[in-house]
Amino acid sequence: MPDGNSVRSVCQETNPQDIDDGTMCRAASETPTPVNFSFPEQEPTILLSPAFKSTVDITFPIAPGMTWDGFCRLAYDRLNEGFTKQAEALLARGRFTQEEVSMLVQARNRAVIEFREPLSPFGKLYSEILKPADRLKDLDKLLEEKGTLEAVVKSAGKTRQVVDRIGIVSRVAGPAVIVLEVTLTAIVIAEAPASQRGRVAAREITGATVSVAGGVGGAWAGCATASFFLSPSLAVPVVGEITEGTACLVGGIMGSLGIGWLGRKGGEALGEKGYDFVTEFHWH
């Protein structure tokens, strides 16, 4: 250039007097990034709907017990398939003795009792209402009811469809709710301020634990209460096992949700109190 100056852009920082009033300001700005991008030094923020979290918390108490009972039912159904195959083999053979049929009936009755042992308190009570253990039918009673050995054999291995459907729903919905609860609890703890993370963890984990205990106890209490109003004596149903069983199921669900939710709130308060006590306690 004639004046000897280097060729470069003129900006506000080097020569502000040459910028006229109509020129936009040239100033440093942040580096352009994709939407919702955060730099490593910034903690990510996860938006968690309180309504969604509350819905999962309310339904969580019933999930563990129903899931356990659902998988126990699946194991029983698999064993029942074996009884069905034995019955089909006898029918295909075309002839069978009364002793063979009696052994098949006795084996199934033993399986019914044995598979009730690992059930939750609610599962045991519900099963007892539908089919009392002390009133399981032996071969003589089945013959009186069905008339022939062939009819008895055909009934071997049959299960209650309504209970099978409940088991299927429990095995699908139960684990899903458990996974959601664990995930949301982890998010709530991770999103808490660093200074409060321990206290939040104690509150959430204790609340979830107590809610499970409340859900198990509430399911049994709700089942027993609802079925009692329909039939003061479980041994001699007044209305019938179908109606009484439905009352037990509905009462169990309501009791589990209600008492489980109360247990969660009590557990959360207990967790916070326990954390405060441990962190503030000083030995003298």
What domain count does the chain have? 1
Query: Quick one: pLDDT at residue 280?
Result: 79
Q: Does residue 118 form part of some domain? A: yes
Q: What is the pLDDT of residue 155?
A: 85
Q: What is the pLDDT of residue 8?
A: 55
- In this prediction, residue 216 carries a pLDDT of 94
Rounded Cα–Cα distance for residues 205 and 211 (Å): 10
What's the pTM value of the predicted model, to 2 decimals?
A: 0.72
Kindly state whether residue 164 falls inside one of the protein's structural domains: yes
CA dist 122 and 250 (Å) reads 11
Residue 281 is predicted with a pLDDT of 64
Taken as a whole, the chain contains a residue count of 284
CA-to-CA distance for 173 and 180, rounded, in angstroms?
Answer: 11
Residue 1 lies in a domain: no
Is 3 part of a structural domain of the chain?
A: no
**77 part of a folded domain:** yes
**194 in any annotated domain:** yes
In a domain, 16, yes or no: no
Q: What is the DSSP annotation of the chain?
A: -TT-PPP----TTT-GGG--TTSPP----PPP--TT---TTSPP-----HHHHHHHHHHGGGHHHHHHHHHHHHHHHHHHHHHHHHHHHHHHHS---HHHHHHHHHHHHHHHHHTTTTS-HHHHHHHHHHS-GGG---HHHHHHHH-SHHHHHHHTT---HHHHHHHHHHHHHHHHHHHHHHHHHHHHHHHS-GGGHHHHHHHHHHHHHHHHHHHHHHHHHHHHHHHHHH-S-SSS-SS-HHHHHHHHHHHHHHHHHHHHHHHHHHHHHHHHHHHHHHHH----
- 7 domain-assigned: no
Do residues 237 and 192 lie in contact, with contact meaning Cβ atoms separated by under 8 Å? no
Range of the domain at 244: 50-279
Q: Could you tell me the mean pLDDT of each successive run of 10 residues in the chain, 284 residues long?
A: 55 53 58 54 56 89 94 92 89 86 91 93 91 88 88 84 88 94 92 91 94 94 86 49 79 94 94 89 56
Distance of CA 266 to the CA centre of its chain: 20
